[in-house]
Amino acid sequence: MTDQLNIPSSNRRNFFRSAAVAGVAVAVPSWLLSACSNAGSGTTATTAGGVTTMKATHGTGFCNLGIFLVKERNLAQADGAAIDFVVTPTNADIVTLFGAGQVDMSLLPYTQFMTLYDAGAPVTIVAGGGVEGCSIVAQPGINSAADLAGKTLGTFQADTLEMLPYDYLKKAGLSFKDVQVRYFGTSPELAQAFISGSVDSMCHIEPYATQALNARSGAVKLSDGKDVYGPNYTDCVLAVRNPLLKENPAAVKAVIKGLLVAQQQAEQDREAAVKDTVGTYFKTSFEDALDASSKQPNIVDQRTKAQFMLDRAVGMKDLGYVKTLPDQKIFDWSLLQQVVAENQDLYHSLKAKSA
């Protein structure tokens, strides 16, 4: 079952303040205020028939393929856990519900996690989701960072998809004050805005970056992130609320193991994994999704990427999204370490792992 929660529209697309940072007018998202002001102190998990069901939110890119397979193929049920996805009308709601305690678990961009943590939400990163897959795509005739000057850039707020263009422009000696940043509500909305020519460029996730490149003749991929961050850069992480982590670590372990199984299955038969998720989760054609799937691999074990994530917080602070730089306390890899130790055959069968 998937629940539908009613979320006031003011929590989605409106902003509650602006701050001038490094010459850039930065809007701090209202979902951050909403999420942390309405936070509950308990857990929403329920147990029946020996299975603990946890409410969760998720993103829209291929870094979420693992958690989609855990849900669709019941990959955590053998270890006594299940996931119940809550419908989120916009990308902002993914973070809002998690921060507010209406769900116990979320697979989300690590940058958005940092905004919640900085605001005091009781949340912890326990595993990785996926790597790479963030792309800056531009209309024909825009071939460099310099060509973006004065042009519109579509993205999502406090997202890794905002940090990549921020860092890309910075590397070229430019900044957000040199472009017109437009924030969107959903992944299909941003992709269609680019395909229709409503924005000059966008930073998007797979499979939507591939969809846009295939649909817009002459479109240019300015960056795939690797030119800025190097290979295997982190995009999304699995985070849980601390009450669940304290009260039912076994259920969290079951999901982490399920993610490792999902990674193994996707690596062994990517076409089947795409077939089981396109349409329901990925709003593109099967062909676009399959093409995109190899560009954003699932990697659950991202223990060696902790410092990379922490380093990106500097840009988050520059943009006004966090007040204090986080440290290693945002991570708790202990359950992942236990799962790896207890499932050595599974772990060693994985093609991609960072530790």
Residue 178 tokens read as 């040199």
Q: What global pTM score does this model have?
A: 0.90
pLDDT of residue 180: 97
Per-residue CA distances from 22 to 205, 299, 314, 327, 346 (Å): 27, 34, 13, 23, 47
What pLDDT sits at residue 44? 87
Strands (E), 142-250: 152-155, 180-183, 201-204, 220-223, 234-241
Q: What is the pLDDT of residues 232-284, one digit of tens each?
A: 999 999 999 999 999 999 999 999 999 999 999 999 999 999 999 999 999 99
Structure tokens at 196: 């229709």
**Residue 221's beta-bridge partner residues?**
137
| Structural domains of the chain, ranges and CATH numbers in brackets | 3-131+234-349 (3.40.190.10), 135-229 (3.40.190.10)
Q: CA torsion 288→209→212→195, rounded to 10°?
A: 140
Band (pLDDT 50/70/90 cuts) for residue 34 is: low
Predicted confidence at residue 32, as pLDDT, reads 56
* Token duo for residue 135: 């792309």
